[in-house]
Amino acid sequence: MKPSKRILGAVAAVAALSLMAGCGGGGSTGSSDESSGASGGQVYYLSFKPEQDAAWQAVAAQYTEQTGTPVRIVTAAQGTYEQTLKAEMAKSDAPTLFQINGPVGGAVWKDYALDLSDTDFYNALLDKSMAVEMDGNVIGVPYVVEGYGIIYNQAIMDKYFATSGAKAASVDEINTFAKLKEVTDDMQAKKDELGIKGVFAATSMKPGDAWRWDTHLANLPIFYEYRDNNVTDMAEVSFKYNKEYQQIFDLYLTNSTIDPKLTPSKAVTDSMAEFALGEAAMVQNGNWAWGQVADVAGNTVTEENIKMMPIYIGVDGEEKQSIAVGTENFFSVNSKASEADQQASIDFVNWLITSDAGKSAMVNDLGFIPPFSTFSATEQPADPLAKQVVAYMGNTDLYNVAWNFTTFPSKDFKNSFADALTQYAVGNLEWSQVVEVFVTEWAAEKQG
């Protein structure tokens, strides 16, 4: 066999065929070439959240209309951003603007990310430490902040506070794990009286649906471990606050709508459905949750009654702890794109955070809580949970829990941890084994 000859032949044939395909394509116009007009640059943004696609398309159209710069926004299907980006980046017409999810994503894409330290949007950041820096370059700039905590239904809480022997008179009194446990234990005992199936919506452990525990909840012990060591990342962790993690996780499992043995059959949507239907009083989730339940048939939770409180895990001084506010959405500009396209992308982001139209789109259409100084206190989303997050951010008495999970070694690490948690929940693993998985997988995956 002479493979080299065969391959050459194949390649030649391929080239010939592509010519044919190009001619025959008639009506199907290509996507790239017609647009190198005006300033020369164009924007191709590979977006992250499918539910925001329509809003982004409107923003793109508006920007093109105002400036003449072509903007193409394409959204990756849910859960496939990395693989989509890997495919798109290799194409001739690669994204000029893309997103990374933090330092870990930054490490993957650092060869493709332009230094953004001179851009207006980086300099407009309220907190520059939020940006992703690597080798002295700013390679990712956050464009939205989000917050998560324990979301509760005020109506059910009020009903509880009115019961005889209630352990608290208002949610404000709940500011430690001990109090949270005391209240929710009592609520669970009175669940029939309150008309609920359980205090906490189901602990969703279905494969792929455990991120509230393997990522968001796991962020808290890691936040405290980093804080104790005064660092922002660690190659190895001891999972020092594992006991605290265990007790809040146990609390979720016990004071729940379902038997812990059945948690592996529940998805996040199931938990949110329970909360929306009024079957549960509390659910751990973030400000995006409102959009998922508002205006859906069967929802019983009103705009005034949906509130958020911090997740208390039993650490000293947690009375001063706030909700977890941060981001895993950072803009990066493709360093391998043409200079004109890079500039066009930077201009587009600048427009988003400075022009009235851009700001309105960010806040009202995309529902973002923007982390930029160019937005005034009134330029914030109207969503009830977003308002709560903004209020927490403005509360200087409390300290924020940073989103340190963006430094978690990999998705694989989270999956391993979730897997162990699931087995713990159904009673097949001891807690010490879960801790061991956490520690060893962390170290191993950090090595890459």
Partner 1 sequence: MIKSLRRLALVFTGPTIIAFAIAFAVPFLVGLYLSFCEFTTVTNATWVGFDNYVRAFSPRERFLSSLGFTALVTAIAVLTVNLFAFTVAYLLTRKLRGTNFFRTVFFMPNLIGGIVLGYTWQTIINAVLVQYQTTLISDAKYGFIGLVLLLNWQMIGYMMIIYIAGLQNVPGELIEAAAIDGADKWQTLRHVTIPMVMPSITICLFLTLSSSFKLFDANLALTNGAPMRQTEMVALNIVNTFFTRVGVEGVGQAKAMVFFLLVSGLAFLQLRATRRQEVEQ
Partner 2 sequence: MSTSQHTGDAVVAAAKSAKHRDQQTRPGQFITYAVLALLTLVFIGPLLFILMNSFKGRFFISDAPFALPLGDYFVGLTNYTSGLARTNFFNAMGWSFVITVGAVAVIVFFTAMTAYYITRVKAWWTNALYLIFVFSMVVPFQAVMFPTVKIADMLGLSNPLGMIVLYLGFGAGLSVFIFSGFVKSIPLQIEEAATIDGCSPLQTYFYIVFPMLKPVAITVAILNTMWVWNDYLLPYLVIGLSTPYKTIPVAIQMMAGSYGDNDMGAMMAMLVLAIIPIVIFYLSSQKYIIEGVAAGAVKG
Binding site for partner 2 (CB under 8 A): 1, 14-15, 17-18, 21-22, 24-25, 28, 30-31, 44, 46, 48-51, 53, 72, 74-80, 84, 86-88, 90-93, 204, 209, 267-270, 272-274, 276-277, 279, 285-286, 288-289, 291-292, 296-299
Among residues 116 and 289, whose Cβ is nearest to partner 2?
289
Instruction: Please tell me whether residue 43 adopts helix, strand or coil conformation.
Output: strand
How far is Cα 137 from Cα 111, in angstroms, rounded to an integer? 11
Vertex 306, ends 195 and 55: CA angle to 5°? 130
Name which of partner 2, partner 1, none residue 377 binds, using a CB cut-off of 5 to 8 Å depending on partner kind: none
How far is Cα 210 from Cα 99, in angstroms, rounded to an integer? 23
Angle of helix 177-189 relative to helix 154-161, nearest 10 degrees, comes to 80
How far is Cα 43 from Cα 58, in angstroms, rounded to an integer? 14
Residues 111-170 that bind partner 1 (CB under 8 A): 111-112
CB of 446 to partner 2, least distance (A): 25
> Does 262 help bind partner 1 (rule: CB under 8 A)?
yes
Q: Give the CA distances from residue 416 to residues 224, 314, 422, 442, in Å, rounded to whole numbers and listed in that order.
A: 22, 25, 10, 10
Q: Is 387 exposed, middle or buried (0-12, 13-18, 19+ CB in 10 A)?
A: middle
Instruction: Please tell me whether residue 334 adopts helix, strand or coil conformation.
Output: strand
Among residues 13 and 391, whose Cβ is nearest to partner 1?
13
Contact segment (CB under 8 A) with partner 1 among 65-73, 83-91, 140-148, 357-365 equals 83-91
Name which of partner 2, partner 1, none residue 373 binds, using a CB cut-off of 5 to 8 Å depending on partner kind: none
How far is Cα 80 from Cα 61, in angstroms, rounded to an integer? 25
How far is Cα 209 from Cα 236, in angstroms, rounded to an integer? 26
Name which of partner 1, partner 2, none residue 423 binds, using a CB cut-off of 5 to 8 Å depending on partner kind: partner 1
Among residues 80 and 170, whose Cβ is nearest to partner 1?
80
Name which of partner 1, partner 2, none residue 189 binds, using a CB cut-off of 5 to 8 Å depending on partner kind: none
> Does 86 help bind partner 1 (rule: CB under 8 A)?
yes
Name which of partner 1, partner 2, none residue 84 binds, using a CB cut-off of 5 to 8 Å depending on partner kind: partner 2
> Does 30 help bind partner 1 (rule: CB under 8 A)?
no
Residues facing residue 334 across a β-bridge: 113
Among residues 180 and 421, whose Cβ is nearest to partner 2?
421
Among residues 46 and 138, whose Cβ is nearest to partner 2?
46
How far is Cα 242 from Cα 163, in angstroms, rounded to an integer? 34
Name which of partner 1, partner 2, none residue 444 binds, using a CB cut-off of 5 to 8 Å depending on partner kind: partner 1
Q: Pinpoint the alpha helices (H) of 198-267.
A: 211, 218-229, 242-254
Vertex 258, ends 257 and 262: CA angle to 5°? 155
CB 248 within 8 A of CB 311: yes
Q: Specify whether the backbone of 40 is left (phi greater than 0), alpha (psi in -120 to 50) or beta.
A: left
Residue from the set 171, 175, 264, 350 that interacts with partner 1 by CB under 8 A: 264
Structure token digits, residue 210: 């455990």
Vertex 429, ends 428 and 430: CA angle to 5°? 135
Residue from the set 190, 343, 419, 442 that interacts with partner 1 by CB under 8 A: 419
Name which of partner 1, partner 2, none residue 40 binds, using a CB cut-off of 5 to 8 Å depending on partner kind: none
Contact segment (CB under 8 A) with partner 1 among 84-92, 183-191, 219-227, 381-389 equals 84-92
Residues 222-251 that bind partner 1 (CB under 8 A): none
Query: Exposed e or buried b for every residue in 203-233, given b needs 16+ CB within 10 A?
Result: bbbbeebbbbbbbbbbbbbbbbbbeeeeeee
CB of 87 to partner 1, least distance (A): 8
Task: Give the per-residue contact string, 268-307, with partner 1 (x = CB under 8 A; - = no).
Answer: ----------------------------------------
Among residues 77 and 162, whose Cβ is nearest to partner 2?
77
Backbone angles phi, psi at 388, to 5 degrees: -60, -45
Binding region for partner 1 (CB under 8 A): 7, 10-11, 13-14, 17, 80, 82-83, 86-87, 89-90, 104, 107-109, 111-112, 206-208, 259, 261-265, 409-412, 415-416, 419-420, 422-423, 426, 428, 444-445, 448
